[in-house]
Structure 1
Amino acid sequence: MSDARLTDLEIRLAWQEDLLRTLEDTLHAQQTRVGELEAFCRQLAERLRALQDDQDASPDDGPPPHY
């Protein structure tokens, strides 16, 4: 194998390793963000359920004013 071809392969490998590192970092950041968004959605769902429970449990304010 010629030196030029070997150098070309080494350069390609270096670029691929850099790309792989970048993709791994991006994937890790996205996975972290997805985890945060899932936690946020759970909190919102719990708050919504609590609001619905409060609304269902609240008594009527009495008869309408025209009675």
Structure 2
Amino acid sequence: MNDERIIELEIKAAYQEDLLQALNKIVAGQQQQIDRLEATCTMLNERIKSLSAEGAGGENAEEVPPHY
């Protein structure tokens, strides 16, 4: 009976090890996706800032056109 208990515990440990490896792969993939999304957000923020800077140098959007 003691041998059966040890075998059962070894089987559980093996399943947990496999599960841990699978979860580790998932977390690593999610981290890569987060890194890509952060890079995209940074690029978009810089693009928005550059467009805002270009727009700020031009005419005021609330200004009445000269023909009025």
Same fold by TM-score greater than 0.5: yes
Structure 1 residue 64: deviation in Å? Answer: 2.6
Structure 1 residue 59: deviation in Å? Answer: 4.1
Cα-to-partner distance string for 1:14-65 (whole Å, 9 max, x where unaligned): 11101100110111011101100000000000000000000011246xx432
Q: Structure 2 length as normaliser, TM-score? A: 0.84
In the other structure, the counterpart of 1:10 is: 10
In the other structure, the counterpart of 1:64 is: 66
In the other structure, the counterpart of 1:52 is: 52
In the other structure, the counterpart of 1:42 is: 42
Percent identical pairs in the alignment equals 39
Amino acid across the alignment from 1:13? A
Amino acid across the alignment from 1:16? Q
RMSD: 1.8
Gaps of 5+ in 1: none
Measure the CA separation in 2 of the matches of 1:64 and 1:20: 70
Total equivalences in the alignment: 65
